[in-house]
Chain A
Amino acid sequence: MSSPENVRLWTKSNAEYTDAAAERAWAQEEFTWGVWEIPESDLGVLGDVGGLDVVELGCGTAFSCAWFARRGARVVGVDPTPAQLDTARRMQRETGLEFPLVEAFGEDVPLPDEAFDLAYSGHGASNWADPYRWIPEAARLLRPGGRLLFIHGTPLATICYPDAGPITTELQRPYFGMHRFVWPESEGAVEFQLGYGDWIAVLRESGFEVERLVELQASPESRTHEFYSDMTAEWGRQWPSEQIWVARKRG
């Protein structure tokens, strides 16, 4: 059940930002995490990806795929937004870095069972797909012992955002019952968030063991992002703006 509103939002965001940002994003030497661009070398989350079969769920313009490919992974990018996949194909031609791109939603991926060692989502399926559908789908795609890594906003950030505009230091909405969010400014696009207990439960029930949770905070040097500006550096220096889950498929 791919959401046309989500595709429309990311078609627009691609025209406004991600297409123009693709060249820089594809050229990044170091893998960085989240809006504060925290270097992977500070966090040590990914490990060696050389030789791994990697699927990225919600790859957008596929800049993370490009990084995995340059590090020797066999990567497949999955995204439902044709405009972003067009940008990814343009970047493939410009860089000569080729890998398969599949137009699909993270909840229903036309790829075989147990074909990957690493499933990754960077504000892709992790924000825009229903966790009760995409997490089991990631489990299906992974080999036993394979890892799921995803970054998304924290539940604390979700409950501190007003309906529109920058994040606040006040509770704006309840934590209980969090699941689907349609923000007024997103023109019907649907985002997803769960509480900690529910995230852990959906991971466990889908066959994952939770290995690590990394909460990201801005550093004193961090600046509010030019495009993702509703999360401010001032807030992000005090509270975690985003978090990375590291889970391993049992077996």
Chain B
Amino acid sequence: MSSPEYPEYVARNVAIWTENNAKYTDRKAAEAWARELDWGVFGIPEAELRALGDVTGLDVVELGCGTAYVSAQLARLGARPVGVDPTPAQLETARRMMAETGIEFPLVEAVAESVPLPDASFDLALSEYGASIWADPYRWIPEAARLLRPGGRLVFLRNSTIVILHQSLEGATEQLQRPQRGLCRIEWPDTGEVEFHLPAAVLIDVLRESGFELERVIDLYAPDDADSHEFYDFVTADWARKWPAEEIWVARKR
């Protein structure tokens, strides 16, 4: 249950992710936990992008871990992950997977805007479509900075600004659908989800003001042989072969 100090949009997003877990992420958890680390709806291998590099021995906090498959993949590579998520149903799925696989790591029920973990205790803060789109960037990015040790890295996957600007309720189009002016909080009228998306320029400011140096942005593409995703249908493989639908940001705490 959401605690009283959660921001108002959290209850709505938790309800959506409880529903998505029942529809999709719970039954996909076994496959996701067993998979090699990859990125985005078209599954670009980490081995190709090297966004994370060697994670052996790193203390990792995953902000918005869902069913915690990324944390599980990192644990198998020798990292010490902690998964943080506000959706109890997804954390239950994560616990079931821990029991099934024997891969164990701590799970914390919390929003990324306010994480009950100590300062400077992680080498890597990671968000794969977690806090990176569902939490307020003006709060979760400083919180990630607080959790990281100096020199630690923040890596997150989110949608591109281009796909957000071209997104209709039916998916990514080739027509601009909304202005970029003032872009930050997006309420999707069909589901009531509240998402956050800052244009690159504003996100760079937030990162710098939170003590990060920007190291890399990776525009993700759909490979030639990619098919559209069965569940995350906001973009087709055809669209994403021409324009980036997703991007990975890599920043280092100074």
Residues of A at the B interface (CB closer than 8 Å) are 156, 159-160, 169-171, 174-176, 195-198, 200-201, 204, 209-215, 217, 237-240, 243
Contacts and interface: CB of A to CB of B under 8 A. Distances in A.
A156 B219 CA distance: 14
A126 B175 CA distance: 27
B3 to A, nearest CB: 36
A212 to B, nearest CB: 6
Contacts of A237: 179, 181
Nearest to A214: B201
Contacts of A195: 219, 244
Interface string B199-232: 1110011001000011111110100000000000
Contacts of B213: 209
B241 A243 contact: no
A210 B200 CA distance: 12
B176 interface: yes
Given A169-B175, A239-B179, A176 B216 contact: no
A64 to B, nearest CB: 22
Interface of B: 161-162, 165-166, 174-176, 179-181, 199-201, 204-205, 208, 213-219, 221, 241-244, 247
A240 B162 contact: no
A203 B164 CA distance: 26
Contacts of A209: 213-214
A169 B176 contact: yes
B204 A210 contact: yes
6 contacts: A176-B241, A176-B242, A176-B244, A197-B218, A204-B216, A214-B201
A243 B202 CA distance: 12
Interface centre among A160, A174, A176, A217 (most CB of B within 10 A): A176
Contacts of B179: 237-239
B243 A156 contact: no
Nearest to A235: B176
B243 A200 contact: no
A243 B201 CA distance: 9
Nearest to B172: A171
Nearest to B174: A171
A238 B216 contact: no
A237 B216 CA distance: 29
Nearest to B221: A176
Contact of A174 (B180, B199, B216, B242): B242
A195 B162 CA distance: 11
Given A175-B244, A200-B214, A210-B204, A160 B181 contact: no
Contacts of A160: 176
Nearest to B242: A174
A139 to B, nearest CB: 17
A217 B201 contact: no
B162 A156 contact: yes
A211 B214 CA distance: 8
Contacts of A212: 201, 204-205, 208
Given A176-B244, A214-B201, A215-B200, 13 more contacts: A156-B161, A160-B176, A170-B174, A170-B175, A171-B174, A175-B242, A176-B221, A195-B244, A197-B216, A197-B218, A210-B204, A217-B181, A240-B201
Contacts of B216: 197, 200-201, 204
B175 A200 contact: no
Which 8 pairs show the lowest CB-CB distances between chains A and B?
A: A238-B179, A174-B242, A213-B201, A169-B176, A197-B219, A171-B174, A215-B201, A197-B217
Nearest to A176: B221
A56 B199 CA distance: 28
A211 B207 CA distance: 10
A249 to B, nearest CB: 14
Contacts of A174: 242-243
